Amino acid sequence: MTITHDPEGYRNGRTEGYQKGREEGYRKGLQAARDARSSAPAAPLLGEISLRWRELGCAERIGACLGSRIVLRDHEMACLKETINSAVWQLTIERDGRTEPLILKIFKAPITGSDLVELSMYRYATPLLGELMPDIYLVETPPEGGDAWVFMEYVPQLKGQLIFTPDHFERIVPSLARLHALTHNERLAPYRQQFAEWLPIYKSERGIAERKRVNEEMLVYLDQAMEQPALAERLKADEAMLRKVLAKGPDYFPELLEAGLSITHNDLQTPNIGCYDAAEAEWRIKLLDWEGARFAPCWFDLFNLIGVFFAYRRDWRKDEEAVVQRVSHLYASEMERRGIFFKEDPVRLYKMAYVQRVLERSLHLQLQWGVHGTKPARLLETYVGKVKTWGKALGL
């Protein structure tokens, strides 16, 4: 056999082989990326949950809470949400011949800030607020400071059960008033010891200092916003008004403090409101995800419930004043039924709470996002408009 040396063919073959190799590597890499994106979060693995379940004796301990024998269905688990600080898993258990869901929330070490607040709510607040929280079956907090595991009742979110409209606020307000009345002012005093170390207090030195910091930072962001043509155009008509109002901060309405403080939830959107069956005539409400809990003016939760809804829902804004009138009076009536009386007009208190929360938090976020471009500042004009109109009516 004679071998013929062909330099040109050799070079062509090498180039073709190199190109095919690159294409094959690209295809494999692309497929690996797709597989990684479509797979469940890596931590914790399902096997780890099953193992931990057995190590902690969860079947016996949770079964004792439920009053029946339970079995974990190891292959029916789903990660609902995972962040660098926590993970939420939906587990499935067998009980009395049927299956039902169970929620596991894992707080990843080190547990600080809002995660510590939420974990502490599950550990300490249920004797007082259990009727408004999911049933907590087991809280496991390692003494060495590792991850904390909380097993709790599954309560369906309101979101997904119906098309939410402003009429539904009236179904939620009685439960909200129940939360606030239970913890209003000195009614929390017998429980103060167990809340003192971890629950943020609005009137504390730390709370006041935080509001002062935000107030000063907001003026800096306003300066920076006026240096950016797009933001300056949006704010130029109201810049002077904002500076005048912010100079009076950070606490604008002493009437809100006089109306009283309660434990507030602070994030009352439909994903955080649980309801066993929204088709029932009377809703059985459980509030979910308590990381924003604090002891603050009780009217703030009305802003969290109503004000944020109307800020995002332009299609309902023509009804805002009527809804605010109706719901504010209903809330005051529900609080009165529980022995809490407000001196100020309820609508006026709601509008004070709206403007105060916008000036101490919401507007700060909108300016920050706009200046840094981290998120669209979609509600900037909405919040500035409310500060202008309602602030003027309230004497700001």
Per domain, the residue ranges of the chain are 46-153, 166-393
Half-sphere exposure of 159 (CA within 13 A, CB side): 8
Cβ neighbours of residue 210 under 8 Å, at least 6 residues apart? Answer: none
Look up the CATH architecture of domain 166-393. Answer: Alpha-Beta Complex (3.90)
Mean pLDDT, rounded, of the chain? 91
Class of residue 228 by CB neighbours under 10 A (exposed 0-12, middle 13-18, buried 19+): middle
Q: Is a pLDDT exceeding 70 seen at residue 10?
A: no
| Cα–Cα distance, 356 to 249 (Å, whole number) | 9
| Cα–Cα distance, 225 to 381 (Å, whole number) | 13
Nearest 5°: CA angle at 347, between 345 and 351? Answer: 115
Give percent above pLDDT 90 in the chain.
Answer: 86
Q: How confident is the model over 128-138, as pLDDT tens digits? A: 999 999 999 99
3 state SS of 264: strand
For β-strands 86-95 and 98-107, DSSP reports them as antiparallel
State the average pLDDT over residues 324-332.
98
The number of residues in the chain equals: 396
Residue with tokens 């309230």: 394
Residue 44 confidence (pLDDT): 56
3 state SS of 386: helix
More confident residue, 16 or 135: 135
Residue 239 confidence (pLDDT): 97
> What's the predicted TM-score (pTM) here?
0.86
| Cα–Cα distance, 288 to 195 (Å, whole number) | 19
Decide if 218 contacts 364 (C-beta within 8 A).
yes
Residue with tokens 């005048």: 244
| Cα–Cα distance, 332 to 335 (Å, whole number) | 5
| Cα–Cα distance, 233 to 227 (Å, whole number) | 10
H or E segment and range at residue 210: helix 205-225
**Read out DSSP for 314-362?**
GGGGGGHHHHHHHHHHHHHHHHHHTT---SS-HHHHHHHHHHHHIIIII
Residue 20 confidence (pLDDT): 52
Which stretches within 102-204 are classed as H helix?
113-120, 126-129, 169-182, 192-195
Q: How confident is the model over 354-395, as pLDDT tens digits? A: 999 999 999 999 999 999 999 999 999 999 999 999 999 999
Tokens in use for 17?
């082989």
| Cα–Cα distance, 359 to 214 (Å, whole number) | 9
Displacement of CA 193 from its chain's centroid (Å): 26
Residue 251 confidence (pLDDT): 97
| Cα–Cα distance, 388 to 396 (Å, whole number) | 9
Q: How confident is the model over 128-184, as pLDDT tens digits? A: 999 999 999 999 998 888 999 999 999 999 999 999 999 999 999 999 999 999 999
Tokens in use for 329?
């009076």
State the average pLDDT over residues 216-228.
97
Class of residue 132 by CB neighbours under 10 A (exposed 0-12, middle 13-18, buried 19+): buried
3 state SS of 85: coil
Nearest 5°: CA angle at 348, between 300 and 322? Answer: 95
Range from 37-51, 210-224, 229-243 carrying the lowest mean pLDDT: 37-51
Residue type, 31: Q
Decide if 105 contacts 87 (C-beta within 8 A).
yes
CATH classification number, 46-153, choose in 3.30.200.20, 3.40.50.10320, 3.50.50.60, 3.60.21.10: 3.30.200.20
Q: Is a pLDDT exceeding 50 seen at residue 273?
A: yes
